[in-house]
Chain A
């Protein structure tokens, strides 16, 4: 073989086109490149029409089939192939093709099983798609036909009262429809079985023949088979069945599936026979009856009427159409829909009995009211096939009933509209009617109440008596009346009713019924009971209470007084009416009589204070008389009720209180202070006369919060704050402020004071205040203050005067001394007394010098500055003093011995302490005893809060008895032979006492003096 390339290609093309399958070759762009002849034939197209065209342009969707999704399905399949480069089998698709020669207007139904396969190029991309389609239209149609037939078969079998079976041969399975159980008596388990079971149940004598018959059909590839044989039921009896089978084969022609129905022939035969019998019987009856009988064949809607349609409704036989229309046409249009619905409901729901009332038109056009009863007949399979009914003319009955209803309703309406609970009873007493108000009241329904049911609602205490009276009335035929209690459903309590019943008799005088009524008298009844109760109580109370109680007729006549009145006044019943007058104090009698008559006339309540007399003891006590009128419903006074309360003690107390108050006012007005009282909040309630006199305000003007009208503007805020403080805290109020004198507008100083008055719980009830005029004190105080200031000024002046004077005096004295000394040293005097005079001059100089020096010291003492206080070391201080008086010490050969070991220092102003030491030491030496060497002992020790400084000398001593009181006075000197200013001890004492210390002196003449100085030491 040596074939050229072109030959090869050509061959392939022809071969492809001649292939028996249906092929399209598509480019990746889905353009048709090649097509097989078979495809063209199947699709009814020509090659030149489709080559080179886009596939979906050539095969559009079937426009007459909205369901068709063939294009979309093909498109997605092709896309799948392009994308995955794999074959894709499409589901069997319906794609209709245009009928040839119809220019695309009509389509032929086609079913296709398409498959798309990619042809890959060397680089792996899709070069072509082979679209292969198998035309499976015929196959699908066959399948559909089988399914349809099978369905019909099933329906038919069920309708015929048979059982449907299905046999799956390859799987050896056989199934029965549910009716198999009913027909043959098997249970659910028998529905799923194997075909062999069938062989067991077929009567052994019939099996061979049935088998052969089936085999014959199969061998001839027949589709249907029919057989009649005996089949065993669950109860082991055999019945004759008719079996229809339908056989399906596979491609190889083997039977794979069998479907069939099996009908129990014996049952069907029996039923047909019975039906026939009943039909004939029924028709006989129907002819005989007067009612209108109808027989409706539900399967063909034919309708049979009996003679009644003619005799009763007037229709002519020839005018009666033998269909259902002859019924529906004459039903009143207003009833038609309702009747149709009800009858169809009965038929459709499988029920058997139907009943309805409606209006039916007669031939003359009038309507009769019909009660129609129908009965649905079902075939053996339970399907409704027939309906038989009878129409009863109830027009007259209805009319009577209506009349009856209307008449009763009218009577009831009247009874119902009455405000009482009405009822009727049969002649023997069984209640047969209750009005609505009974049900409303008792909450029970008629069934519960009817006949003797009422005995459950009545109060148990009343039941027996009511029953007795009612039976008595029934027996005698006399009207019944009684009061009894009935339970209210709403409140659960019993209410009183007046029950009445009268017998109603016919013309012959026989009782036909009882008519009764119950009237609610509960309120009246309770009122009456209350009235009885209260009048009983009143009597009881009025006799037992400790007050006098009385009542009077509307005209004022006393008709009752309790025993208290008699006990007190000792009067008898003569006091009733107006006989009580003698027991009234003469001062009040006329007034009381007038007031009482006024009350009786107007109905005003009486309230009167009056003295009643103890007629025997002839003493009076005060009583408060009170009375109120009692009125009936017409507002007329029917009675007066009164009391008389002994208020004698209160009255006396009140009088005492008034007296006390009066006295207090008098006291308040008589004292010189302004007196006022406020409530707890500070609101002024009382001012005495003096307040009014001083401020010029009236009592009304003074009430409330008035201070600012009276107070000096500068004192207002301060006084207000202070007063609020006291109100808040309850603290004693005290303040000095100025009040304006109402007469001349001047202000005077007052001391305001106020104290709270508290109750037992400590709560403030009132404030009692006084304002005392302290203007004079205040002025005196101010004057004193001024005086003080002035004195201080004078003192200062004096101080500076003394200081200046001492200084200014000092210098000339010093100079005079200096000049005189110079003079006496270097000048000579002729007078023989010159030395003596010089000595006298010197003494005088020294004296004046000393005085001036001490004066300056006194001034210094006046000015102490606490800040200068320091811890002074005594040893050092004494040394300093010794230095300053070294001349004196040398001249007198005095010895100073110190021992400060116990307290080496004293807190003091150093200069002042030095002055003290200086004065004491110089004094000790100055007043020395001339027959011995002066010795001064200085020592300290702690003594309590003090440091004791002991200064002991052996000098001449002081006569303490003589001089003690004057020892520390200024300018006092006790020894003339020694010069001194007399200020030394004064200064020492002042310095010490100014600092809280004191001084003690012990002295014996010619033995010496000891000073004890006590320095107060501040505690740490």
Chain B
């Protein structure tokens, strides 16, 4: 039995997604690891998930990047705030960026949904800390 059911990775960098997927899989903490490459796709996924559509399990943990094409991380977070779903309370939203500027970090304070910010690369120690703290 793995500690989490579903993890959603939102990042447009393929390599990052590959490496994070590989790390999380190796550490065997989730049954299902889903990957979307921009905010719009993420919203689409979550909307469907909250509606209870099959094949869209609600994630326990979300990693979201800031710099993304189509819809970046902040735009996504703004839309996510508007989404309605009882499941939102159970979701742990974390930000994972390569280099968050001072202003980015300031802006992040406006989004209480985001529990914490992690710098890339995501290390095993980080994951262990996340599990320990939020689950």
Contact = CB atoms under 8 A, between A and B. Distances in A.
A856 B99 contact: yes
Contact of B98 (A814, A822, A859, A860): A814
A860 B101 CA distance: 8
Max chain A CB contacts within 10 Å: which of B15, B102, B105?
A: B102
B98 A807 contact: yes
B115 interface: no
B102 A860 contact: yes
A863 interface: yes
Interface in A837-883: 852-853, 856, 859-860, 863
A810 B96 CA distance: 13
A153 interface: no
A209 to B, nearest CB: 165
A911 B102 contact: yes
Interface string B37-63: 000000000000000000000000000
A957 B127 CA distance: 37
A810 B99 contact: yes
B99 A819 contact: no
Interface string B66-79: 01000000000000
A803 interface: yes
A819 B101 contact: no
A807 B99 contact: yes
Contact of A815 (B15, B99, B102, B125): B15
A863 B99 CA distance: 16
Contacts of B99: 806-807, 810, 852-853, 856
Interface residues of A, number: 19
Contact of A819 (B19, B67, B105, B125): B19
A502 interface: no
B35 to A, nearest CB: 15
A863 B105 CA distance: 14
A811 to B, nearest CB: 4
B13 interface: yes
A887 interface: yes
A104 interface: no
Contact of A810 (B15, B98, B102, B105): B98
Max chain B CB contacts within 10 Å: which of A815, A822, A852, A856?
A: A815
A859 B99 CA distance: 12
A873 to B, nearest CB: 19
Interface string A787-814: 0000000000000000100110011001
B125 A807 contact: no
A852 B119 CA distance: 14
Given A806-B99, A860-B101, A887-B125, A815 B22 contact: no
A392 interface: no
A766 B26 CA distance: 95
A815 B67 contact: no
B98 A811 contact: yes
B125 A814 contact: no
Nearest to B120: A814
Given A807-B67, A811-B120, A887-B125, A819 B15 contact: yes
A222 interface: no
A913 interface: no
Nearest to B14: A815
Interface in A754-807: 803, 806-807
Nearest to B105: A911
A815 B125 CA distance: 17
Nearest to B103: A863
Contacts of B22: 822
A853 B13 CA distance: 20
Contacts of B101: 803, 807, 856, 859-860
Max chain B CB contacts within 10 Å: which of A803, A814, A822?
A: A814
A806 B102 CA distance: 14
Interface in A131-145: none
A818 B26 CA distance: 14
B121 interface: yes
Contacts of B120: 810-811, 814
A822 B22 CA distance: 9
A810 B102 CA distance: 16
B125 A818 contact: no
A662 B128 CA distance: 97
A860 B105 CA distance: 12
A637 interface: no
Contacts of A860: 101-102
A817 interface: yes
A592 B41 CA distance: 120
Contacts of A852: 99
Max chain A CB contacts within 10 Å: which of B67, B98, B120?
A: B98
Contacts of A803: 101
Interface string B89-130: 000000000110110010000000000000011000100000
- The 8 closest A-B CB pairs, nearest first, are A818-B19, A815-B15, A811-B98, A807-B99, A814-B121, A810-B98, A814-B120, A810-B99
13 contacts: A807-B67, A807-B98, A814-B16, A814-B121, A815-B13, A815-B15, A815-B19, A818-B15, A853-B99, A860-B101, A860-B102, A887-B125, A911-B105
Interface of A: 803, 806-807, 810-811, 814-815, 817-819, 822, 852-853, 856, 859-860, 863, 887, 911
Given A856-B99, A911-B105, 19 more contacts: A806-B99, A807-B98, A807-B99, A807-B101, A811-B13, A814-B16, A814-B98, A814-B120, A815-B13, A815-B15, A817-B121, A818-B15, A818-B16, A819-B15, A819-B19, A822-B19, A853-B99, A859-B101, A863-B102
